[in-house]
Amino acid sequence: QQQVKQSPQSLIVQKGGISIINCAYENTAFDYFPWYQQFPGKGPALLIAIRPDVSEKKEGRFTISFNKSAKQFSLHIMDSQPGDSATYFCAASRSTGANSKLTFGKGITLSVRP
Amino acid sequence: GAGVSQSPRYKVAKRGQDVALRCDPISGHVSLFWYQQALGQGPEFLTYFQNEAQLDKSGLPSDRFFAERPEGSVSTLKIQRTQQEDSAVYLCASSPNTVQELQFFGPGTRLTVL
């Protein structure tokens, strides 16, 4: 059973547009929800993360919206740029306990057209 | 400030060969994680260390996989008698003790088993 599911599978956006990527999770014990960006040949890099005590977090052009009751969270990229073209992964973990391993979604490929 | 480094970056092995993959975490980071990323998929947890102690190895796919971190710094992931299904990118991540879920990833080692 996939614990973290992403949608859509791929996304094409025009430069300057808004990119929206959604994520749903199963395990209600998760309490840390990061988004990672990965370029070809590189490791995932943390973009932004949220905890369930807030419904929204904004850092520059990136915003996470969190809906605890629906067990969903989303990433919004404002004013999308060609340099944002990459694979985006949502993830979830438990910050308490002995192991804060991340459970990742399958990723979505974002293409921003000039 | 150096990030997480991994070596080799690329490894080609013939089926049945043993391989060793190295991870140098960020200096001072107590926690170290190994993940496996199959082509077109999100990373999947393999094993977790806190200092030199391997606290969770539940993600290791078989007893051919072995990881160690003898001095609580550098870690090695060893795969014995490699199989074609072992072909993947192996990612290492480290995190500070105070915020274990905040994980910084290395560039990965791409393993191809022929």
Q: What is the pLDDT of residues B13-40, one digit of tens each?
A: 999 999 999 999 999 999 999 999 999 9
**Using one digit for the tens of pLDDT, what is the confidence trace for B85-105?**
999 999 999 998 767 778 999
Q: What pLDDT does residue B1 have? A: 54
B55 touches chain A (CB under 8 A): yes
Give the pLDDT score at A98: 65
What is the rounded CA–CA span in Å between residue B114 and residue B98?
Answer: 42
Q: How far is A17 from chain B (nearest CA, A)?
A: 25
pLDDT tier, A95 (very low <50, low <70, confident <90, very high otherwise): confident
Q: What is the pLDDT of residue A1?
A: 61
B66 touches chain A (CB under 8 A): no
Tell me if chain A has a CB within 8 Å of the CB of B25: no
- Give tens-digit pLDDT for A12-70: 999 999 999 999 999 998 999 999 999 999 999 999 999 999 999 999 999 999 999 99
DSSP classification of residue A59:
E
Nearest chain A residue to B38, by CA = A106
Task: Name the 3-class secondary structure at B65.
Answer: strand
CA atoms of A66 and B87, how far apart (whole Å): 35
